[in-house]
């Protein structure tokens, strides 16, 4: 399912940055270091182009793919023994109901004030993709960030290598005509690499624990309340690192770096630690 796309300034900035980094990396850094038609130059250009294409493709899918809608006829089945996990309101103990959308909310769904609707397994609303990051596009968003980090670090290595390889004679011949491109690229790549690496590390942590950004912040409060009450809090969707990885990235390890999401299911219910505990007790 895709969503309608409207003009967004942050998205335009990201697209321009991607094309600028690609152009300077291939036609300046690689060309001035190796020579674009040499074997090392051609190999680096092909590899960097492949990474850039994967970055652009996953970014496009993250923008256009609907993050997940709650069906209009959704109704939680509280009598279903196979699905014991029903989220309730913090106050009152009732099932979670969205007054703005006028329907019940499935587990892990939240209302987005920007999109003005409930989103399945909502992580956050991202202005840089002009879309929510939710159940249907979380993996592709993560893959985009991964390829963006690889592309930025790769470009920085080529930038530094190109600078150190430039001889004084080359500098005199070109008259410093590429100096501006080097400065702009450095000012763009350094903060981008740091920011995206931090973002990637954050989402790796979330995937390891099978949490969303919203659930992390809710868990901090739940942990504090549990400690205050003398009980132990455990995130209900934490199935162990490997199962957490496969539930988000897919059961096939070779598909983890591909922007595919055939494994994700409906987004209306999720496997919990309760299922693991029941399975373990039945196997004894």
Known catalytic residues?
Answer: 126
Instruction: Give the count of beta carbons closer than 10 Å to the beta carbon of residue 219.
Output: 19
147: left (phi over 0), alpha (psi -120 to 50) or beta: alpha
Q: How many H helices and E strands in the chain?
A: 9, 6
The sign of the dihedral angle between the CA atoms of 45, 47, 48, 54 is: positive
Q: How far apart are CA 281 and CA 275, in angstroms?
A: 10
Provide the β-strand partners of residue 2.
65
Alpha-carbon distance of 258 to 2, in angstroms, equals 18
- Residue 125 bridge partners (DSSP): 132
Would strands 103-104 and 110-112 be described as parallel, antiparallel, or unpaired? unpaired
Q: Residue 23, SS3?
A: helix
Please, which residues bridge with residue 133 across strands?
124
**Cα–Cα distance for residue pair 80/178, rounded to 1 Å:** 66
SS3 call for 231? coil
The rounded distance, in Å, linking the Cα atoms of 25 and 9 is: 24
Rounded to whole angstroms, how far apart are CA atoms 136 and 121? Answer: 9
């Amino acid at each position: 399912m895709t969503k309608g796309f409207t003009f967004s300034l942050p998205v335009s900035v990201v697209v321009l940055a991607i094309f600028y980094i690609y152009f300077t990396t291939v036609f300046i850094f690689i060309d001035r270091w190796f020579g674009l038609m040499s074997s090392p130059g051609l190999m680096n250009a092909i590899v960097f182009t492949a990474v850039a294409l994967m970055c652009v493709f996953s970014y496009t899918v993250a923008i256009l793919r609907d993050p997940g809608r709650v069906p209009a006829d959704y109704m939680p089945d509280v009598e279903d023994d196979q699905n014991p996990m029903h989220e309730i309101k913090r106050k009152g103990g009732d099932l979670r109901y969205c007054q703005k959308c006028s329907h019940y909310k499935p587990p892990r769904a939240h209302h987005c004030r920007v999109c003005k609707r409930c989103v399945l397994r909502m992580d956050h609303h991202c202005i840089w993709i002009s879309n929510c990051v939710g159940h249907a596009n979380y993996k592709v968003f993560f893959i985009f960030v991964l390829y963006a980090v690889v592309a930025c670090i790769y470009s920085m290595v080529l930038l530094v290598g190109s600078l150190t390889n430039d001889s004084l004679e080359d500098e005199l011949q070109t008259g410093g005509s590429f100096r501006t491109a080097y400065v702009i690229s450095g000012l763009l790549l350094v903060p981008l690499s740091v920011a995206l690496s931090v973002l990637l590390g954050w989402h790796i942590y979330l995937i390891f624990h099978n949490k969303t950004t919203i659930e992390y912040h809710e868990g901090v409060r739940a942990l504090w309340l549990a400690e205050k009450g003398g009980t132990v809090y455990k995130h209900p969707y934490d199935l162990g690192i490997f199962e957490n990885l496969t539930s988000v990235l897919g059961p096939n390890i070779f598909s983890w770096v591909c922007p595919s999401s055939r494994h994700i299911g409906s987004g209306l219910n999720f496997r919990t630690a309760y299922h693991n505990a029941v399975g373990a007790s039945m196997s004894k």
